[in-house]
Amino acid sequence: MTLYLICFVSGAGFLLSFLLFFHPLQQNVTANRWLSVFVFIIACAFVSTYMIITETVISNGFLFKCLNSLQFLLAPSLYISILYFVTPTKTFRKADWLHFAPFLIYVIAESICYNRKESISTFTLFAINKNVSFLIRDILPFMTLLYLIKSYATLVRHKRNLKRISSNINQINLDWLVQFLYILLLTVIIWINDALFELPFLTEATPFIYAVSTFFLAYFSIKQRTIFPFKEKDIQEISAFLENEDFKIIAKENDTLVKDSIKKDITIGYEKSKVFEKEKPQFKRLSTEQITSLSAQLSSLMEVDKLFLDNDLNLPTIAETLGISIHEASFLINETTKDNFYTYINKYRVEEAKKLLASSKMGELNILGIAFASGFNSKTTFNTTFKKIVGISPSQYSKEQKK
């Protein structure tokens, strides 16, 4: 049964890798191609496991060494994939090559010991006790664990950033990747057990967990949506805006700031995000008069035109409607409401939902219908947001209104 599962997971991995590399919907192309590399390496790892079980390692020594070498690319390929998912203008930089240093060091070491029959992956680095030794291959699970932590932090930051530019994030927040990281964490725990403790019940569960994770990844990766479906010019500005999370332009009624000081502050902020290396954006600073005028226009868009009813409303749309930059639109909302874009828009939606829940419309629409009619595109998001703002669920609010 174990040998069958190993062959099955390996074959499924190669198929999923192919589908990700040539994604049928052509969404998040570069990110999915790096993810395909990650899945391909997992499939290769199971081929090497098959060789160990069937005792064909010696007769296929070179192939076995190549498959072991690839495992040092496993964690970096996943992390780079996530970077491409969350960064709209991500390009491969010189610093990214550092992720491949362990792989290159291992390949060089394996080449030096080429004449040896066994792979250097089985070499002992140090002894833990009389029965257990820490081998070179045991570096891999700890290296993977480090990258999982980095990947998780990146996805958490991505979710927070999305709330600065979009009012509905449930389909683009990459929660499926976060859940996939949890599954991988479990496999890493089993991996460490296999390397150091060898608890049999955990070792035997490995193929099952990989089989589940492969199908999980296949389902969500195929149905994923484009993370940043904006115009090219907007994507460039959004990228600079998101990378400069701490960068703010302070508006004052009486402009007494020295221009050189402003220029220095902007330079420091953009050097930090590396955007300044290409071209220094000229953000317009909003005066008190501009804030007052634009705030009135924004309120009109929300209260009169009810722009918040657009399920896919985003910050670039607001900025274009007001005739200002994306950074200025975010600054305007933060300055006048002390909220991010996501919270600002969803407060209007919750107020609209409260009106519908207390009206005769409640008899015509169910909770899901109220959610869509209020501008939400998910019942889960509606319930969570409503309860966070109002303090009770939509159903409870409706019952109270009937009383």
> How does pLDDT run across 108-162, given as a tens digit for each residue?
888 877 666 677 877 877 877 777 778 888 889 899 999 999 999 999 999 999 9
pLDDT score for 223: 81
pLDDT score for 279: 40
CA-based nearest residue to 197, from 118, 141, 260: 141
Buried b (16+ CB within 10 A) or exposed e, 23-53: beeeebeebbbbbbbbbbbbbbbbbbbebee
Residue 182 pLDDT exceeds 70: yes
For the chain, state the CA radius of gyration: 26
Give 133's strand partners: 127
Classify domain 2-223 by CATH number: 1.20.1070.10
pLDDT score for 293: 93
Of 23-37, 274-288, 293-307, the range with the lowest mean pLDDT is 274-288
pLDDT score for 210: 80
307 vs 290: CA distance, rounded Å: 21
Q: Please, where are the H alpha helices in 244-313?
A: 259-273, 288-303
Indicate the pLDDT class of residue 200, thresholds 50, 70 and 90: low
DSSP reduced 3-state for 127: strand
Residue 281 pLDDT exceeds 70: no
Tell me how far CA of residue 314 lies from CA of 70, 162, 306, 307, in angstroms. Answer: 41, 10, 14, 10
Give 289 or 124, the one with higher predicted confidence. 289
pLDDT score for 115: 64
What pLDDT digit, counting tens, does each position of 55-113 carry?
887 667 788 888 889 999 999 999 999 999 999 888 899 999 999 999 999 998 888 77
Give 173 or 248, the one with higher predicted confidence. 173
Residue 248 pLDDT exceeds 50: no
167 vs 386: CA distance, rounded Å: 14
Question: What average pLDDT does the chain have?
Answer: 82
CA-based nearest residue to 140, from 210, 202, 64, 73: 73
pLDDT score for 117: 67
Residue 250 pLDDT exceeds 90: no
174 vs 148: CA distance, rounded Å: 15
What is the DSSP-derived secondary structure letter of residue 287? P
Which one of 3.40.228.10, 1.10.10.60, 3.30.300.30, 3.40.1000.10 gives the CATH number of domain 232-402?
A: 1.10.10.60
pLDDT score for 287: 83
Number of alpha carbons in the 13 Å side-chain half-sphere of residue 152: 13
What pLDDT digit, counting tens, does each position of 290-304 carry?
899 999 999 999 999
35 vs 81: CA distance, rounded Å: 5
Which class for 105: exposed (0-12), middle (13-18), buried (19 or more C-beta within 10 A)?
A: exposed
116 vs 135: CA distance, rounded Å: 17
pLDDT score for 329: 92
pLDDT score for 6: 85
Residue 357 pLDDT exceeds 50: yes
Of 55-69, 115-129, 184-198, 323-337, the range with the lowest mean pLDDT is 115-129
CA 1 vs. chain centroid, Å, equals 35
Residue 25 pLDDT exceeds 90: no
Residue 351 pLDDT exceeds 90: yes
- The count of other CB atoms within 10 Å of the CB of residue 200 is 9
Locate the DSSP E strands across 102-244: 124-127, 133-135
- The count of other CB atoms within 10 Å of the CB of residue 125 is 12
pTM of the model: 0.82
Cα end-to-end span (Å), the chain: 61
CA-based nearest residue to 366, from 385, 353, 351: 353
Of 47-51, 243-247, 336-340, the range with the lowest mean pLDDT is 243-247
Residue-range domain boundaries for the chain: 2-223, 232-402
Residue 213 pLDDT exceeds 90: no
pLDDT score for 270: 42
Of 226-240, 336-350, 388-402, the range with the lowest mean pLDDT is 226-240
- What mean pLDDT is predicted for residues 211-226? 85
225 vs 173: CA distance, rounded Å: 10
**Token pair recorded at residue 378:** 């998910």
CA 351 vs. chain centroid, Å, equals 31
186 vs 143: CA distance, rounded Å: 15
Highest mean pLDDT among 53-67, 239-253, 270-284: 53-67
- What mean pLDDT is predicted for residues 265-275? 43
